[in-house]
Amino acid sequence: MFSQTPAPTYTLVKHLNQMLTPYVPSRYSLQSSVEFLEAIKDTPGTRIIASLNMESPFTNVPVDETIDIILEHVYRSQLTETLNIPEASLCMLLELNRQKDGMAMGSPLGVLFANFHVGTMEKSVFTRMQQPRRYIRYIDDIFKLTQRMR
C-alpha cells in the first residue's frame, strides 16, 4: 500500500468526496466512534450487543455498481438536490480513482464508495425484513442490539 496524497488526482478526489458525502444513504451510519459510544451507553442490561465487521470493504466494493448508485442518488433522487455537474462528467471523475477491483486504500473515495454501497444494501434489506431493535454502522463495523435469549 502507498500513500494517495501525492497522486495527481488526490485533490480532485478529495473535493469530490466533500461534494458527494451529503448524498450518502446514512440512516444507519454513524460519523464517529464517539457517536457509537453515545448510542449504546444507555443500553438496558437485558440486551445483547453483537459486533460484526465487513471484510475489506474498500478493496471489495463493486466500483461500477457503486458509481451507478451514486449517480442514481445525485441525479434521480427526489430527496436531494442535483449537483451542477453533467452526469457523464461526474461518472468520468469517479472512474479516475478506481483500480482493477475495488477502490485504492487511502483514497478519499474509499470510505464514500463503501458507505454508498453498504447504505444502499441496508436500505434494500430492511425494506424486506424486520429491522433489528437497534442497528448502527461506523464505516465497516456494524453493531446490532438484540433481546437476550431466555
Domain that holds residue 67: 10-147
Spatial separation of the C-alpha atoms in residues 82 and 142, rounded to whole Å = 30
- Tell me, yes or no, whether 1 lies in a domain: no
* In the block, residue with C-alpha cell 441525479: 75
pLDDT at 17 over 70: yes
Q: Could you tell me the pLDDT band of residue 141, with boundaries at 50, 70 and 90? A: confident
- Tell me, yes or no, whether 2 lies in a domain: no
pTM for the model stands at 0.79
Tell me what pLDDT residue 139 has: 76
Tell me what pLDDT residue 72 has: 93
- Tell me, yes or no, whether 3 lies in a domain: no
- Tell me, yes or no, whether 4 lies in a domain: no
- Tell me, yes or no, whether 70 lies in a domain: yes
Number of domains comprising the chain: 1
- Tell me, yes or no, whether 91 lies in a domain: yes
Spatial separation of the C-alpha atoms in residues 53 and 43, rounded to whole Å = 21
The amino acid occupying position 135 is Y
3-state secondary structure of 133: coil
Q: Could you tell me the pLDDT band of residue 1, with boundaries at 50, 70 and 90? A: very low
- The residue-averaged pLDDT of 26-45 equals 76
- Tell me, yes or no, whether 96 lies in a domain: yes
